[in-house]
Amino acid sequence: MSVIQIMDEDLANKIAAGEVVERTMNVVKELVENAIDAKSTEIKIELIDAGIKEIRVIDNGIGMNKEDAVLAFSRHATSKLKTLDDLFHIHSLGFRGEALPSIAAVSHLVLKTSDGKEGTLVEIDGGKMKDVTSCDLRKGCDITVSDLFYNTPVRLKYLKNMYTELAHITDYVHKMALSYPMIQFQLKNNGKLLLSTDGSNRLLKVINDIYGLAVTKKMVEINGENDDYLVHGYISYPELMKSNRNAITVLVNGRFIKNNELNKIITESYHTYMPPDKYPIVILSIEADPILIDVNVHPTKMDIKFSKMETLKELITSLITDKLEHLTLIPDASVTTVVEGNSTKISNHYSTPTTQEFDYVVKEKEFENYEKMTLNLEVKKEDEVIDSLKDKEERDALPFDDEDEDETPRMKEMYPVGLVHGTYIVAENEDGMFLIDQHAANERINYEYYLAEMSRPKKEKMDLLVPITVELPTNEYLILKENFNVLEDLGFLFEEFGRNTIIIRTIPLWLRRSREEDAIHKIIDIIVETEDFKSEKFFHYIAATVACKASIKANDFITLDEMRTLLSRLRSCKNPFTCPHGRPTVITYSKYELERLFKRAM
């Protein structure tokens, strides 16, 4: 008897289910993607106990006839691929024909479907067809998956708790709603509505439904294309910082993906605008010829491979950086109206409010007013727009004229009036009151100065009266010795001095006196840890490190004249809004917000 045998279909489906269906979210994902491929305009997801007990997905797509409804549960049965050539021109979300048989193999499944001519009911238990009958149903599909993993107890055991599973499902449905704003999505768990979008094809409206009005007002649109890719979407102001990458939504030809390289490109585009361990809110849609991408590289199809990745990187980086360079990025210490029952209270905060802080009806009305105002920007003259805007943040979003771009400072002049705790400068102008972190502001000024000086081909130098000796461990010294030319290019003159030691006799003139020894050690540490000395990051690390050491510290009391000089130099910076580590240099209370705080305006 042969040792090698063809696997039983039921066993094969259970093994396939282990790759395709890891948790309840995967079931929702596959069923929703099928609904989208079926040209649905309305998709309802109803869960019981976060989908562990039951998942029901209802759509109004093209539906299936009886023959297709039965065939759909056969392995590798699909309507989306017919030839090998089709694999390189995939336009649908699903294409392998594995999802439905895999889900049916580990659950009780009931499918009701109609193509508009006949209705069909298919009942499957643990992968085995139990019943196929006729039924009445409007055009579309109604599929119910219950008791997931009931016949694979090990997999059931390792499902997370209900709240974790629900969080994963909610996150996924949010991504799909952002991917397809023209589709009406509804998500319920145990009868409670968690998300409802109107399918009006307004991406900004979906962002408002998911994140709330406060976030929506801090999102700006980007659009651009090159010969290979078209990119459009919304990016957040840097002040909307998240502690993880979950708020970065990347869509490729309508498919939500998780691609580490793209996430890195996006976060690096916010370089110096936010701390390295923080992430922006981004909804980025990429459109490309299917021949340029390979979606068949991951069991869940949530990662893809790109051809011509460099051209895509250049496009995304330029779109984000150009947009950030045209915004006034002073965070508001805002006053938000929070509706509680029939009463209203004013809360003062710096962090972004959650969606739950807003009454839904009030939020909808505010969004409609905000959107109308935003849309009117295209048809009104600039002076009329500025007069009509109620908030400073909308006015800040207006682009500079091209002629004045290089001449106009990105921040209005501010007049200092005092110092708080020896750290925060209090300033004012006609717009309101400002608080400036003197260390962060001075750090930004020094950072841009050092960055400019290091880029000069010819650097002015100064001989040291007392040379500085630097001794390193053997492993670090060997790396430094291999890159002596990098230290020379920065403007240092030195010589080897004994074992694992160099003696520095000349330093660049831009290095601050009295702290040069500490700065030299930091620079050498960066050289030892760096692999690519031509990248902008290398010069950024050096400039940021030296700038930090050379800047005014907290509790350093400075005079009003020194404050004026500091603010004037900050205004002249290319990015006066954050220090090189991404912390804000300035926050503001607008005049209107101050009046609301003191009940002068209600």
Beta bridge partners of 186: 44, 196
**pLDDT tens digit string along 212-246?**
888 898 899 999 999 889 999 999 998 888 888 88
Beta bridge partners of 495: 503
- 3-class SS string, 190-237: CCEEEEECCCCCCHHHHHHHHHCHHHHCCEEEEEEECCCEEEEEEEEC
List the 119-125 sheet strands across, edge first.
128-134, 119-125, 108-114, 140-146, 54-59, 42-48, 184-189, 192-196
Q: Is residue 213 a contact partner of residue 362, using CB atoms and an 8 Å limit? A: no
Give me the mean pLDDT over the 47-68 stretch: 91
Instruction: Give the pLDDT score at 368.
Output: 60
Tokens 């449905």 identify what position? 173
Structure tokens at 495: 């010589």
- Min mean pLDDT across 28-42, 422-436, 514-528 is at 514-528
pTM exceeds 0.85: no
Give me the mean pLDDT over the 133-137 stretch: 84
- Min mean pLDDT across 12-21, 411-420, 522-531, 588-597 is at 12-21
Question: Could you give the domains of the chain?
Answer: 9-180 (3.30.565.10), 218-324 (3.30.230.10), 416-587 (3.30.1370.100)
Q: What are phi and psi of 237, to 5 degrees?
A: -60, 145
DSSP3 helix / strand / coil % (the chain, rounded to 5): 40, 25, 35
Per-residue pLDDT band for 192 (boundaries 50, 70, 90) equals very high
Give me the mean pLDDT over the 371-396 stretch: 42
Measuring CA to CA, how many Å separate 469 from each of 185, 503, 529, 556? Answer: 67, 4, 20, 31
**pLDDT tens digit string along 400-456?**
333 344 567 888 999 999 999 989 999 999 989 999 999 999 999 999 988 888 877
Q: Is residue 325 a contact partner of residue 317, using CB atoms and an 8 Å limit? A: no
Q: For the chain, give the mean pLDDT.
A: 79
Higher pLDDT, 17 or 286: 286
Structure tokens at 467: 């040379």
Q: Is residue 178 a contact partner of residue 203, using CB atoms and an 8 Å limit? A: yes
| Helix intervals (H) in 457-535 | 474-482, 484-489, 516-529
- Min mean pLDDT across 12-21, 129-138, 412-421, 553-562 is at 12-21
Per-residue pLDDT band for 336 (boundaries 50, 70, 90) equals very low
Statement: residue 396 has pLDDT above 50:
no
Helix (H, G, I), strand (E, B) or coil at 418: strand
Sign of CA dihedral 504, 509, 511, 516: positive
Helix (H, G, I), strand (E, B) or coil at 432: strand
Residue type, 30: E
- Report how far residue 38's alpha carbon sits from residue 32's, in angstroms, rounded to the nearest whole number: 10
Give the DSSP per-residue string, 122-156. EEEETTEEEEEEE----SEEEEEEESTTTT-HHHH
